[in-house]
Amino acid sequence: MLVKTYGSAVQGVDATTITVEVNISRGANFYLVGLPDAAVKESQQRIESALRQYSYKIPGKKVVINMAPADIRKEGSAYDLTIAMGILAASEQMKSEEVSKYIIMGELSLDGTIHPIKGVLPIAIQARAEDFKGFILPKENAREAAVVNNLDVYGVDNIIDVIEFFEGKKELEKTVVDTRKEFFDNSNLFNIDFSEVKGQENVKRALEIAAAGGHNIIMIGPPGAGKTMISKRIPTILPPLSLQEALETTKIHSVAGKTEKNASLVTTRPFRAPHHTISDVALVGGGSFPQPGEISLAHNGVLFLDELPEFKKTVLEVMRQPLEDRMITISRAKFTVDYPASFMLVASMNPCPCGYYNHPEKECVCSTGTVQRYLNKISGPLLDRIDIHIEVVPVPFGKLSESESGESSQVVRKRVIGARNLQEERFKEDTDVHSNAQMSSKMMSKFCLLDADSVSLLKNAMERLGLSARAYDRILKVSRTIADLANAESILSEHIAEAIQYRSLDRDSWGAN
């Protein structure tokens, strides 16, 4: 008897439905074909043990299982439940009328318990697109899949629950998630706040601009100046995720297996802070069986690179393309996958190996050549892609000892949200652009018009600092954000002047600060 059951394979952040054809006929042996990997091939032992716990079995006949389409590699143990249901239905140990109407996925343990799997959200989205009646999956993944409406989602703990469901002996409870309730003002969930940062008003201003326009920013200063402390507070001033952004972010975390147990949507912007020993593949994604890297896990959030010059040069250089395209493409001989990588880069670095170059009080022990070699670890093309450069100086004791706190994250966040709302309205005709940092050249010519004074000021800065054409674009984008924060319709010379101040680390000015 031939029976078809359905699972799904995830490639990149999208899913492809896999048809599992099970045919049982006279003869002997067990055949599993259709480009399965080792984990899929090992499913026979897991399935056999799990079925025996409940007096079911793999029949002692010729069992042929084909996983189509055969040109897509099937990976992992998530097909255990799909194959097991096919075997039971094809051997008439279980009714087969309804089994083909559902996507069925789950990893089996030897006692029949069903363990969680990766990539549930894209699988659920594809199941709805192909009009499947429902999705049967591990209970721990059910809430994540249930954010997809118009699809019945059933979370199960054990294989016997699925068998009895198809036999009509048991009703499974649908998992329902109210996505609106998942979204609420989470600004009070943070246990850190901008008000805890003493002094550093110029740095906080630069970070507010970066958050308001989605700009990349680098901070340079001595050890202990507060670079890391301030960076960790950036999520507290970022606007909340929209539903579309939350779905995109959750898909990536789901594929990478990073979603929390019994979670549904990722509702706060990611903050990823990889160590400087990270490899190229771990940062941008890839591997023999490609997985999202840190830059994709930071999609719609913040990627914080502390001590930027300590990262391997190859690691930094592979970031250039995703910083520009906001997408990373992983190519292999037989396939190509794309991972979204629209993140806000926040980097910090010391000005020299000892950390005290240009320090107001402590003496630097590095030679001029050593300082220059250290700074040269950050290439000009990479630096060009960072919109805002800000110097962080140590906070004097008088400021540290002040009892009065600065502005709270809530106050700053309100201004950031106001600026982002202006940008959403400005770019409403282009669904792929949400902030000033994402503007194309065509948009800049429309929304970044300058008066004569601003043009003259910018021309002088370009000539004096030896800025590149890309740096010119960055200044215009940052000045547009500064104008938005001031609720100004046009970019004025003071906005250009402030934006120019944030190019202090451009190549021709290095070593002169």
Q: Which segment of 105-119, 192-206, 422-436, 496-510 scores lowest on mean pLDDT?
A: 496-510
Phi first, then psi, for residue 302 (nearest 5°) are -120, 135
**pLDDT range class, residue 456, cuts 50, 70, 90:** very high
| 364 half-sphere exposure, CB direction, 13 A CA radius | 20
Higher pLDDT, 513 or 118: 118
First CA to last CA distance, the chain: 79
Domains of the chain are 2-177 (3.30.230.10), 187-433 (3.40.50.300)
Q: Strand 217-220 vs strand 344-349: parallel, antiparallel, or unpaired?
A: parallel
Distance CA 97, CA 52 (A): 23
- Evaluate whether 7 touches 103 at the Cβ level (below 8 Å): yes
Q: What is the mean pLDDT of the chain?
A: 89
List the strands of the sheet with 62-68, edge to edge. 30-33, 62-68, 14-25, 2-11, 102-104, 134-138, 152-156
202 pLDDT above the threshold of 70:
yes
Q: Which segment of 77-81, 157-161, 416-420, 468-472 scores lowest on mean pLDDT?
A: 468-472
Please state the rounded mean pLDDT for residues 499-504.
Answer: 87
Please state the rounded mean pLDDT for residues 84-108.
Answer: 95
**pLDDT range class, residue 506, cuts 50, 70, 90:** low
Please state the rounded mean pLDDT for residues 111-132.
Answer: 96
Distance CA 273, CA 229 (A): 13
Write down the pLDDT at residue 513.
Answer: 38
Write down the pLDDT at residue 187.
Answer: 53
Write down the pLDDT at residue 509.
Answer: 43
Contacts of 234 (CB under 8 A, 6+ apart): 207, 210, 211, 271, 302, 304, 344, 346
Rounded to 5°, the CA angle 322-256-40 comes to 125
- Evaluate whether 344 touches 303 at the Cβ level (below 8 Å): yes
Q: Please report the sign of the dihedral spanned by the C-alpha atoms of residue 366, residue 367, residue 371, residue 374.
A: negative
Please state the rounded mean pLDDT for residues 437-458.
Answer: 91
**pLDDT range class, residue 471, cuts 50, 70, 90:** confident
Write down the pLDDT at residue 511.
Answer: 43
